[in-house]
Amino acid sequence: MTYSRLLTLLAASLAAFCSPSLQAQTSKPIRLVVPYSAGGPIDVTARILAERVKDSLGTVIIDNKPGAGGNIGADIVAKAPADGLTIGIAATATHAVNPWLYSRIPYNAATDFAPITQILRVPNVLVMNADTAQRLRINSVQDLIAYAKANPAKLNYGSGGNGSAGHLAGEMFKSQAGIFAVHIPYNGGNPAQLALLGGQVDFNFDNLATAAPNIRSGKLKALAVTTLKRTPALPEVPPVADTLKGFAIDTWWGLVAPAGTPAEVLGKLNQAFVAALNAPETKTRFAGLMAEPVPTTPQEFAAFMKGELAKYEKVVKATGAQVD
């Protein structure tokens, strides 16, 4: 081999080693933008995963950017350089609901992001005050629908506010079941649950992690979960879909990068985070949050988010809910 040929090969190797997409993953920390406040379930899971991927990706710094229902943090990711150094959380709100709920939004959920992997799915659960359920003799979704049809306009349900997950789930349920129930919005999920526990509303669609303690204590009766199939977190409770075919409205979140991030960078990120999601220790920790890991390929997550965006367009527009 000639000396000039050797220099050419060394130069090519050095250029490949120092390419921005690879260097970003080996010598600089990755910023993971969480569009919600510290301490919540999404923030907790992001920190668990950041710790798990240190060996493969290096330092991952969590950067909480709450506000505007998650829109502020999502917009930061959308407008970041597409070099793999900034990634973020995509959630039901930021990438499926908010584009239809807000009259103006600073990013395009469909085109401004490159999916990495879905992270988790947390079921919602249809619950009643246990005493109310006993008094009305409602023990199943079928019983609830039958009672509502036999007693028009007598049922109501609570939620954490107009456009919240509980509100949208309730409206979707009413539409598919062909029933009517008055929606009573509260200022957050906790007040809505307190109203249910106090008998001020008849049923709620609540996050399973929030409702589980009161289900276990017998204060709330779980009629169904909102996943298409039974969930390991509450295996004895059937899904709404057993009664209303295709009904599914879960809370989910995943990882995205800015659109235009190189495929090889996305691949490396996907490989590291999927391995973290599949680790037994990670699954155990997430089980405590009533959350189910859902590792996917970037293509699978892209298709999933596209379907969720279309689904929530119909649901949000049917409710007439809007923010600002």
Q: Answer yes or no: is 1 within a domain.
A: no
Same-domain status, 233 and 301: no
What percentage of residues in the chain have a pLDDT greater than 70? 92
Whether the per-residue pLDDT at 233 is higher than 90: the answer is no
Same-domain status, 295 and 146: no
Same-domain status, 92 and 143: no
Same-domain status, 167 and 305: no
Q: Of how many residues is the chain composed?
A: 324
Question: Which of 58, 24, 109 shows the shortest CA–CA distance to 301?
Answer: 109
For residues 234-270, one letter each, b for 16 or more C-beta atoms within 10 angstroms of the residue's C-beta and e for the rest, the string is beebbbbbbbbeebbbbbbbbbbbbbebbeebbebbb
Place of tokens 């081999």: 1
Same-domain status, 81 and 95: yes
Domain boundary among 197, 212, 242: 242
Domain boundary among 242, 268, 288: 242
The range of the structural domain enclosing residue 149 comes to 124-242
Residues 89, 228, 284, CA angle at the centre, nearest 5°? 55
Question: Which of 126, 304, 100 shows the shortest CA–CA distance to 204?
Answer: 126
In the predicted model, what is the mean pLDDT of residues 157-177?
91
Q: Answer yes or no: is 11 within a domain.
A: no
Place of tokens 């993971």: 32
In what order do the strands lie in the sheet containing 182-185?
A: 182-185, 156-159, 203-207, 124-129, 220-225
Q: Answer yes or no: is 21 within a domain.
A: yes
DSSP per position, 182-231: EEEE-SSHHHHHHHHHTTSSSEEEEEHHHHHHHHHHTSEEEEEESSSS--
In the predicted model, what is the mean pLDDT of residues 191-218?
93
Q: What is the CATH number of the domain that holds 266?
A: 3.40.190.150
| Single-letter amino acid, residue 252 | W
| Bridge partners (DSSP) listed for residue 88 | 33, 256
Neighbours of 22 (CB within 10 A): 16
Same-domain status, 284 and 312: yes
* pLDDT tens for each residue of 85-131: 999 999 999 999 999 999 999 999 999 999 999 999 988 999 999 99
The helix (run of H) or strand (run of E) holding residue 30 is strand 30-34
Same-domain status, 158 and 101: no
Residues 127, 129, 131, CA angle at the centre, nearest 5°? 140
Q: Answer yes or no: is 151 within a domain.
A: yes
Q: Answer yes or no: is 140 within a domain.
A: yes
Same-domain status, 257 and 304: yes
Please, are residues 111 and 259 in contact by the beta-carbon 8 Å criterion? yes
User: Which residues, at least 6 apart from 320, have a Cβ–Cβ distance to it below 8 Å?
Assistant: none
pLDDT band at 232 (very low <50, low <70, confident <90, very high): confident
Q: Answer yes or no: is 4 within a domain.
A: no
In what order do the strands lie in the sheet containing 292-293?
A: 60-64, 30-34, 86-91, 251-258, 113-122, 292-293
CA–CA distance from 46 to each of 40, 148, 185 (Å)?
10, 41, 30
Confidence (pLDDT) at 9: 38
Q: Answer yes or no: is 69 within a domain.
A: yes
DSSP state of 294: -
Neighbours of 208 (CB within 10 A): 25
Domain count within the chain = 2
* pLDDT tens for each residue of 130-139: 999 999 999 9
* pLDDT tens for each residue of 187-196: 888 899 999 9
Same-domain status, 82 and 219: no
The runs of H, that is alpha helices, within the chain are 3-17, 20-26, 41-52, 54-57, 71-78, 92, 98-101, 130-136, 141-150, 165-177, 189-197, 208-217, 263-278, 280-287, 298-319
What is the token pair recorded at 284? 């155990």
Q: Answer yes or no: is 324 within a domain.
A: no
Supply the mean pLDDT for the chain.
90
First to last CA, the chain: 69
* pLDDT tens for each residue of 17-53: 344 443 344 579 999 999 999 988 899 999 999 999 9
3-class DSSP state of 258: strand
Q: What is the CATH number of the domain that holds 176?
A: 3.40.190.10
Confidence (pLDDT) at 324: 65
Domain boundary among 193, 213, 242: 242
Same-domain status, 67 and 25: yes
Same-domain status, 255 and 116: yes
Same-domain status, 309 and 267: yes
Q: How far is 128 from 135, CA to CA, in rounded Å?
A: 11
